Chains A and B, each alone.
Chain A
Amino acid sequence: MRKKIIATTSLAGCFGCHMSFLDIDERILDLIELVEFDKSPIDDIKKFTRECDIGLIEGGVCNSENVEVLKEFRRHCKVLVSFGECAIMGGLPALRNTVPIRECFEEAYLHGPSVEEANEEMILPNDEELPMILDKVYPCHEVVKIDYFLPGCPPRADLIWNTLYALVTGEEVKIPYEVIKYD
């Protein structure tokens, strides 16, 4: 059987979900028997080199680059999985959704304690090389179709492992209560 190909990315996230992914520990040796990685921080491949079977998305969508990357993932992956709170609901970054965007910029670049003195010319970054900020942080499924959702902040390693294993082998996914209980 051909090895399944996996791609992963972190959009507006903290990489915590990827760290949790690494918490599968020695099972990573089993994993590489089953899959190959394409575009992913895990092997540092920056661009898709081929069509993939599974895409794992961490983080929500906060700027135009996130939109582009997410859409690229949708084009290249047969199955797309939102993993973690931010991808599913926007998470912490989405706390800004209730604050007018002008105030966000001003806090971040003009009046925040760490920038107050440093930005004497009062510049709001507007180079065209920079991604454009969206009006709010979107969950991934409001931008592209998402096939599966793995909840958690971060999702437990067991949940990620069980899901990947099921997706790769075609077996039914096992989700015991312990892996989706959070209190």
Chain B
Amino acid sequence: MDTKWIEKTVDRYGRDKTRLMDILIEMQQEKGYIPSDTLPVIARLTGISQAWVEQTVSFYHFFRREPSGRYAVFLNNSVVANMMGREKVARAFEEETGCRFGEVSEDGLIGLFDTSCIGMSDQEPAALINGKVFTRLTPFRVREIVRNMRAGKPVEELSTSGYGGGSNALPLIRAEVRNNIQRKGLLLEENYETGTVLREKLRLLTPEEVIWEVKLSELRGRGGAGFPTGLKWEFCRRAKGEKKYIFCNADEGEPGTFKDRVLLTEYPGLVFEGMTLAAYAVGASEGILYIRYEYKYLERYLNHVLEEMRKKNLLGKNIAGIEGFDFDIRLQYGAGAYVCGEESALLESAEGKRGEPRFKPPFPVEKGYLGRPTIINNVETLCSAVKILYFGSEWYRTMGTEDSRGTKVLSISGDCRYPGIYELEWGYTVNDILDMAGADEVQAVQVGGPSGTLISPEEFSRIICYKDLATGGSFIIFNNHRDILRDVVHNFMEFFIDESCGSCVPCRNMPWLLKQKLEKILNGHGVWKDLEDLEKWPAIMKINRCGLGQTAANPVITSLRNFRALYEEKIQKGRSFDEGFDLEKAVEESCEVVGRIPLI
């Protein structure tokens, strides 16, 4: 085997084992998969065991161990994709290519694979083909695309729908992705020139004063958990360590969330400025934007924006003329793992390991990336911080509610006329939002994605804020025609089964058990005891290590609480036990294999 190219790649990252993700991503892109015989070479060059390389490779969805076709199609199978007609699109792909999902066509040309939400819920069904995004697919377009693949066209030429608006049309992106910004607030309003805070404000403020201003604004983390941002910065500022890091978490994997994609497309300067601001506040020298692999199509563009900022002295040495303020940012791509949105899993991944959450404490502000003090903030949080510094915390506090200041960017999708991005002050009711989005005959809303809450119309007067309905931004609407249990809850449970890192036993097993129960009920074999089990069993999920594990049963818990009637109507009356076991079906396959007639 020619090991030269491997060596070259590994050398480019200084043979640094913590850059294993980057090395593997390059291998994957170069060959379309990661050949087994490259692993010992990578291990030798980086000085780690082959098992280490192996465990990292095997963890991430987009690292393939087998050839995945010259065109690798990853079709989203999230709940919204299904609602928007994924099934027909998938069948069209299978018919046209002659292979099934999970397989590669015989000639090795096209591979078909499922993938979790790719951040395009407002323009589903969507797929990634060799990293390029294709949205609003129809069977007709699929036939066109496959025809063009067979004709050997490069993936850039497969798109026929024109480029999306805004920066999506720039030569560095050229994506057919649409922004769908439906409502702007203080964050999305074009009332600010990127770099102004760095250039004009910072020299007048000490780091402590920056933190103080952020604290006064009562800004809380926008990823969903809502930790006070100023406090986090203060902890990190106080933490001992010569080198500190700023991470921006752009791994938005919660199905139904896509606001970070829009922020990074239209406001990347603001995001990077927010990271730089945080660096000034806590005294960090290096920043890393951890971004999901699904947004690989933004890579060249984001690197270009960073380059421009360096030219303007908004990054680099003595930033904005402030003596001794050195800071720079690089991108770190993931490779397809929802759990890496959890901050400590994100750090593990950025260090080239499996994305398994760490035990806390210690918290990242004390021991984070490479064991050093690290801030991890959501994309939106960092953008908000810049606006707070520019307009002042007083002004910021005039918006929102008492416990939730400012605005929240919501990703709205599902059954409504105007899906897209809505920036709203905290405090609107679900009803207000449904009105805004043009949603009628609404049966249910999933607030905060699968790990959040499924609410019924009785609760539509609840308000969006940390105290009541907290959300990282995902807001999925289901109308009266949707089968909540089959289409929604079941899909979400499959998502959690796929995405568990497998470390904690309850998270590894319980979603699977709950899904089995749910299927039993859906197949007409449910009894009252099954409902009791569904209610009691998830209690154990609290002992899981991370937020994913702790919330992985939420689709069942919240649907059972708010839509109990849907479960009850499927339960058999007057039967206390039904195992759902079908002997005839269970022996069918083995009898066929040995060639005998089942005798039952």
Residues of A at the B interface (CB closer than 8 Å) are: 64, 67, 101-102, 105, 124-128, 132-136, 138, 141-145
Contact = CB atoms under 8 A, between A and B. Distances in A.
Interface string B568-597: 000000000101110101111111011111
Contacts, number: 53
B581 A105 contact: no
Contacts of B587: 64, 132-135
B581 A64 contact: no
Given A142-B579, A143-B579, A144-B579, A134 B586 contact: yes
Contacts of B600: 64
Contacts of A134: 586-587, 590
Contact of B581 (A102, A127, A132, A142): A142
Given A142-B579, A144-B579, A145-B577, A101 B599 contact: no
A64 B600 CA distance: 9
Interface string B181-215: 00000000000000000000000000000000000
A128 B590 CA distance: 13
A125 B594 contact: yes
B598 A101 contact: no
Contacts of A143: 579, 581
B512 to A, nearest CB: 12
A133 B577 contact: no
B590 A145 contact: no
Contacts of B585: 135
**Residues of B in contact with A, size category:** 20 to 34
25 contacts: A64-B583, A67-B581, A105-B590, A105-B594, A124-B593, A124-B594, A126-B591, A128-B597, A128-B599, A132-B587, A132-B590, A132-B591, A132-B596, A133-B590, A134-B587, A134-B590, A135-B587, A135-B588, A135-B589, A135-B590, A136-B586, A142-B581, A143-B579, A144-B579, A145-B577
B507 to A, nearest CB: 17
A125 B594 CA distance: 7
A78 B383 CA distance: 66
Contacts of A101: 589-590, 593
Contacts of A67: 581, 583
A136 B589 CA distance: 10
Contacts of B599: 128, 132
Closest 5 CB pairs between A and B? Answer: A133-B590, A132-B587, A126-B594, A126-B596, A124-B594
Nearest to B516: A142
Contacts of A126: 591, 594-596
Contacts of B580: 142
Contacts of B586: 134-136, 138
A144 B598 CA distance: 21
Contacts of A133: 587, 590
B517 to A, nearest CB: 11
